[in-house]
Amino acid sequence: MSLSASLVGIGIVQTLLYLFFIRAIDLYERESLRYVIPIFIWGFAVATTVSLVFNTIASITISSLAGNQTASFVTAVFVAPPVEETAKGLALLIAFIVAYVAARRRGL
């Protein structure tokens, strides 16, 4: 088994452990898995892809201006965190909008 396959497997196991831990400590308002699973899928699929695209664009742009080593540092320290967290936060924004629209349709 290759190293990358092992790392992906470890990441999946870690994600499942987090999911089970969060569900175990949420005693009073446990969300349905039909709401939780799409958010997890967004986090490991969509947000990662969005981050990869924007981080690559930023790295290429910065490297053309300041060199490869500087671009790697600036992208990792200043660009990647806001891009990745914004991409993950979009899932929550979309979930809130969908919930709001659904509640309005039901007349709540």
The pLDDT of residue 82:
93
Look at the pTM and tell me if it is higher than 0.85: no
Q: What's residue 78's pLDDT?
A: 93
Q: Is residue 87 classed as helix, strand or coil in its secondary structure?
A: helix
Give the C-alpha separation, 102 to 82, whole Å: 30
Residues of the chain short of pLDDT 70, as ranges, are 1, 108
**Around Cβ 71, how many Cβ atoms within 10 Å?**
19
Q: Report the C-alpha gap between 95 and 107 in whole angstroms.
A: 18
pLDDT value at residue 59: 93
CB 75 within 8 Å of CB 54 = no
3-state SS track over 5-35:
HHHHHHHHHHHHHHHHHHHHHCCCCCCCHHH
